[in-house]
Amino acid sequence: MGTGYFITGTDTDVGKTCATVALMRLFQQHGTTVVGMKPVAAGCMLQDGQLKNADAQLLQANASVAVDYGLINPYAYQQAVSPHIAGKHNPVVTATVQTGFDQLQALADLVLVEGAGGWLSPINAHEDNSDLAKALGLPVILVVAIRLGCINHAKLTYQAIRHAGLPCAGWIANGTNPDMLSQDENIGTLKTALPAPLLGVLPYQEVVDFDALAGELTRPC
């Protein structure tokens, strides 16, 4: 298996980037060098003649070493739609992502790869995030947005991860809704339902403090 983790979520916009950066800070606090990779990103903006994604730039800014943007995000699409649509004329090639991942592995102890959308979200006409994770050979960390419907989404995603033959190294509960009712009860239900360790609960923050969030996490085994 590769040296790193594949970060997936129960859906799009569940806080995968926030959790990934918090994990990067956690590993760095324990003396581990780490870089982040977001191979596929849609909704990118043109900056200095290059399409760039805000989440990928956040991973770049928090890496232990300086990394070229193109290595972190080899497939950057302008349209804010599913990558298999946005990348119709420049589809994701898994082997290209693998090559970039191998280059990043040479730069740091760990590579955290953030998927695009949910576990089965398509990245091209024939593959989805699960195929990318399998190609990279990485254990998976599941980010669960604690909101209505999260129990069903989390259980289904966990089952799909295991069906793909990959280990789930743990899951992270992300507090995305400050008005969520019975949040603790939902997390308790998930702790019982998911046969993977809870790595931490990230509280809702108006202004994100990644070091504080890192303090809420434990390192996956």
Amino acid at 100: G
Q: Please say whether the beta carbons of 129 and 121 come within 8 A.
A: yes
> Distance of alpha carbon 31 from its chain centroid, rounded?
21
d(CA 80, CA 125): 17
Show which residues are catalytic.
38
Output 52-61 pairs: Cβ under 8 A, ≥24 positions apart: 52/76, 55/17, 55/114, 58/17, 58/21, 59/17, 59/20, 59/21, 59/24, 59/35, 59/112, 59/114, 60/36
